[in-house]
Amino acid sequence: MSDLLLCDTCVIIDFMSGRSQLLNDLINNDAILFVNSIIEMELLQGALDKNELQRIEKKLEPFRLLIMQQTIFDLATQFIREYRLSHGLALPDAVIGATAIYYQMPLLTYNRKDFKFLPAIHLADDY
């Protein structure tokens, strides 16, 4: 069975910039990689011009987009209430974490500290 992984923005940035071979290796080993709309938007907002925007869109083609259910936003809102002040949880991370939990999918991130306190989060093991 293939690994299903939600990929955090930081991992995809390294993939797009050529600093990491990790995602290529995962794809070659039949992993199925996902993003949500927040991750997609974070990546697209980094484009400095139309050419870079097209390059980012092309690099996103291997990733499947997860549908954002209202339940995800409700859970993310609960996380902001509970963890914003105590852990500095940012809105995008709350939605990304809630997406991983909702879909019961491991989250592949370099920023484990940003998510490890979320109940029921499954952070992907180091690859």
Cα separation of 106 and 4, whole Å?
A: 7
Q: Which CATH class is domain 4-114?
A: alpha beta
Per-residue pLDDT of the chain (127 residues; tens, 9 = 90+): 469 999 999 999 999 988 888 888 988 888 999 999 999 999 999 999 999 999 999 999 999 999 999 999 999 999 999 999 999 999 999 999 999 999 999 999 999 999 999 999 999 985 5
Residue 101's pLDDT is 98
Residue 18's pLDDT is 87
Residue 48's pLDDT is 95
Cα separation of 26 and 105, whole Å?
A: 15
- Position of tokens 């339940």? 71
DSSP code, position 82? H
Judged by DSSP in three states, 43 sits in helix
